[in-house]
Structure formats: structure tokens, C-alpha cells
Amino acid sequence: MYKAPTKKQLPKNKFGFKRPEEQPSTVAEAEQLKKQDSALNIIVQFKSKDNENETTGPPINISQNVSTEQLELLINNLLNNEEQLPYSFFVGESEVVSNLKNHLEGQSEETTINIYYQPQAVFRVTPVTRCSSSLEGHTEAVLHSAFSPDGTGLASVSGDTTLRLWDLNTQTPSFTCKGHTNWVLQVAWSPDGKKIATGGMEGDIRIWNPLTGKQVGSTLKGHTKFITGLAWEPFHLNPKCVRLASSSKDATVKIWDTESNHCLMTLSGHTMSVTCLKWSGESMIYTGSQDRTIRVYNTNEGKLIRVLEGHAHWVNTLALNTDYVLRTGPFDHTGEHQETLEKAQQKALERYNEAKASGAKYGGGDILISGSDDFTVIMWNPSVSKTAISRLTGHQQQINLVSFSPNGRYFASASFDKSIKLWDGQTGKFLGNFRGHVGAVYQVCWSSDSRFLVSGSKDSTLKIWDIKTKKMTLELPGHADEVYTVDWSPNGENVVSGSKDRLLKIWRN
């Protein structure tokens, strides 16, 4: 939880003015310093990055050397915040990282400088630093793992044909769920946390109760090849969490009723394997395929709305600017449960609308990111247009995964070229390169406050990256083989990693 600084922590000279002990001793010195000071001072106008047309407070004369901490004090003062909240600051598209002076090149001293501010998360996640336990049980490689929406549960699936559920308090297995006849490739919690879907190599989908470890209803059969993705209908659209979508190598997507165990519709059109899918908060499903296209379907009638073309090779991965709130539904970082279903749905809708605002620049619709074997990332506004917003180059090999930060301000791309690239979530501007892995980067996952990124690699390590400094803060060795899956719990407390070495590891601060 973020704590407001105490009075002792606040710099005495918080707005860049001289302290008494720094005062000049003669009139001549005073005149000289006055000239230097006026040259170092600038006029700034604060504006909200979320509403750039409105100003906050009057223009202010401040020192060019003012730090981000001092800017934070100023904006909290201007906004009359009772509690000191953290903010990010921008001059143009450039984020102010240390002090203002570094961002003023080319700016006229005569003009007023606009400083755009944006609130950071009102809570802070402490990055994990150590492995608190190695969870044994799987007898083959761990292929996928996921925390529950409230961060209290953990599920993992493996080449050993099982789903395992774990107790995070005791860090011991709760249930081993058997039923699949081949590798279990996918696992997805329903956004209310009351159901788990798994998809297998044999093409079957099973629904499980996490409280009992028992299968719910009959097996969902219909796909003829292995399952590549699972996506539940968002909570704010239906809090009963009944409908589930699945994608398969058989080139189809199916929408299932998990109460009646019937297939409601089959979305066809792709000519090769469907590699990934997303169920958006706007009642659309986005699908990426080896046929190089992304298709947009209406989930109520199953109609094809548009086809997005732009990649020259397989589409491997998709990410939405609203992914985090769609995953966590009514649960914020506290994991608090609402009293009624209606209140929970209202909370989920509020969280969704707030997250959707990060796409306001493009009419408020979804921002979709796609990553491909053609080494590129493409930004789309798929609910509105089939034309790409921008095509982003820089990776030297295939892209494994793209992932939006929970606040929608950034997204990361992980590649076989051993690097992770950071991009601006609204403009697509390249922001930084994270290098350190010596093998392909398979997975990345964000902390819930969007300040850190964890990556898992073929080189058997995890690494924690600081988004502000764009540097690695920690390397987490421990696995004996490739790391296939990583997840950061929505409450920020745990990171899980799963490896070819058959182990799950829990990492904590």
C-alpha cells in the first residue's frame, strides 16, 4: 500500500527555492545569483494527461532543476489531495524521470511549458526477491499456470495430463484433477473465481470447481485438434460467468454454455490454426491465426464483423488494453468480495469503463496489439476500423507474447531474439529495450500497479524489470530448465513460474 511521506521525509526546499544557509553574503553576490536564478527558472502549466484541454491551477514559475518528487508535491498541493498520491509527469511525449531540465531542450524560455500529469496506482507492489517454495507434484513439464482473479488461488496444468490446484497459504497442493487423456495446454479462471476451464492436446475442454477439485458437468467435445486458447465472457457483461470461448488448431473458435455443456456457436473463417483469442468488454471476440489474419466476431450472433490484415506471417499473440480488468472482474488489488452479484457487476463495469479510457484517443474502443512471426507488432482499433493504427518494428526474431500493463499506458513484447521491448500503450512509441536473457523470452507478466514486469525465458531464469528506470532490478535463478509460464498475482503478493523441470516456484518479497 502506498504511504504518504511524513513531514521529516519532505524536502525542506520542496519547490526548488534556496534554504537560508545558502543565502549570499554580499549585495553583489545576491545580484549575480538573482540573474542565474532567473535564467534557471521557467513558467510551467500543469495539465491532466487524461484531459489535455483543461489546465490545473495557474502558470507557476519554478526552477528547471525541479525533481519528479518536487513536481509530485506541487500537483498534490494544486489538487488539494488530503493524501500524497504518486504521479507520472510528461513534457510532450517524454516522461520526466529524474528532473525537468533534461526534458527542456528545444523549448523556448519565453513560452509556458506544459507539464502533463497522470496518477499512478494508488497502491504499490513490492517486487518479489526470493523463491519462497518449490511446488512438486507434476511429473511432466508445467505448461501453463494462473492465479485466481482475487489472487488467493493458483492453478497449473502440465504434460502429465493433470490440473493441479494449490493452497497459497500453506503452499501445498489442494487437488490433483484428472480427466484429460493428453497434455493439458491451457487453463483459465472464470472472472468470478468460481470455475476453472482447461483445454487439452486431445481437443477436449473440461470445467472444474476449484473448491472441490471435481469436474463440473460433462466434457466439452467438438474440436478436432488441440486447444490453443480459452476466454471467459467478461463479468460486467454476465456476472454468472456461463459462456466460454475456445480456439483450436482445427481453425475454429467455439462458444460454449458451461451450464448446459452445449456448443452455442462455431466461429469459422480462418483457414489455418487459430493461435489465440480475446473476449472483449464490447461483446466481441478477436482471434489471431496462422493464416496471418485477425478476425473480429460479434459474440451474440457469431457474425464476422471485419478481418484485420497486415501481418506477413503467423499471428502468435494478442493483447487488449483492458485485459487486466477483464481478467479480475469485480476484484481490485485488495481482492475484496462484493456483498451481492449486482454490486459486483457494477464494480466490474466501473473498473472496465475506467480502463477503457486509455483508448479514448481512438474513440474509446478497444486497443488491440498483435505479435507475429514476421517480427512485428501491430496496434489496432478493431471495434471501429480494419486499418492498423501503427506497425512497430525492431525485434530481430519471432514475437512470442505481447502484454498490456494494467493501467493501459504501456505494453511489452517478448521475442525469440532474447529481448523484451517496451512501447507506449497509446501511441506505439518505442520506449525501451530490456536485455539480459541469454535465451528466447517466452512469457512476460505485469505487476498490478504497472511498475514492474517479470519475464520467463528459455535460459531457465526469471527477471524483474523496473518500468521507470527501464533496468533489470533482479535476476531470479532456480529452475533447472526452460521457464514456460509466469504469472503475477492480482493482489501483488506472489509470482509463480512453471518450468520444463516439472516444478512450480512461488516467489515473494
Where would I find the H helices in 158-280? none
Does 35 share its domain with 140?
no
Assess if residue 96 is contained within a domain: yes
Residues 70 and 173 in one domain: no
Residue 420 near residue 465, CB atoms below 8 Å:
yes
Cβ-based neighbours of 373, under 8 Å, separated by 6 or more: 313, 314, 316, 398, 399
Task: Tell whether 218 and 293 lie within a shared domain.
Answer: yes
Query: How far is residue 134's CA from residue 479's CA, in Å, rounded to a whole number?
Result: 9
Do 175 and 275 lie in a common domain?
yes
How far apart, in whole angstroms, are the C-alpha atoms of residue 36 and residue 266? 72
215 domain residue, yes or no:
yes
CATH code of the domain covering residue 417: 2.130.10.10
In a domain? residue 309: yes
Residue 28 covered by a domain:
yes
State which of 92, 119, 146 marks the end of a domain.
Answer: 119
Query: Of 119, 152, 171, which residue constitutes the final position of a domain?
Result: 119
What CATH number corresponds to the domain at position 42? 3.10.20.90
Is position 14 within any domain? no
pLDDT, position 51 = 77
- 314, 397: one domain: yes
Assess whether 172 and 64 both reside in one domain.
no
Strand partners, 488: 495
**CA distance linking residue 381 with residue 407, whole number of Å:** 17
Task: Write down the pLDDT at residue 8.
Answer: 42
Q: Which residue has the cell 528547471?
A: 64
Q: Are residues 267 and 412 in the same domain?
A: yes
Query: Nearest-5° angle of CA 236, CA 351, CA 165?
Result: 70
> Tens place of pLDDT for every residue, the chain, 509 residues?
444 444 444 444 444 443 334 445 566 655 554 555 555 788 999 998 877 788 999 999 988 888 888 898 999 999 998 877 778 888 887 778 767 887 777 666 668 899 999 887 767 889 999 999 999 999 999 999 999 999 999 999 999 999 999 999 888 999 999 999 999 999 999 999 999 999 999 999 999 999 999 999 999 999 999 999 999 999 999 999 999 999 999 999 999 999 999 999 999 999 999 999 999 999 999 999 999 999 999 999 999 999 999 999 999 999 999 999 999 999 988 778 888 999 999 999 999 998 888 777 776 678 999 999 999 999 999 988 999 999 999 999 999 999 999 999 999 999 999 999 999 998 999 999 999 999 999 999 999 999 999 999 999 999 999 998 999 999 999 999 999 999 999 999 999 999 999 999 999 98
pLDDT value for 332: 86
Tell me what pLDDT residue 108 has. 63
Does one domain contain both 245 and 164?
yes
Which residue's C-alpha cell is 480502463? 355
In a domain, 125, yes or no: no
pLDDT of residue 165: 98
Q: Tell me: do 216 and 238 sit in the same domain.
A: yes
Number of compact structural domains in the chain? 2
Do 91 and 196 lie in a common domain? no
Please report the pLDDT score of residue 106 as a whole number: 64
Measured in Å, how far apart are the chain's first and last C-alpha atoms?
A: 14
- Cell representation of residue 72: 509530485
Looking at 77, 95, 119, the residue that finishes a domain is 119
Domain assignment of residue 2, yes or no: no
267 shares its domain with 407: yes
- 54 shares a domain with 152: no
Strand partners, 495: 488, 507
Q: Is residue 1 part of a domain?
A: no
Provide the residue range defining the domain that includes 218.
Answer: 130-508
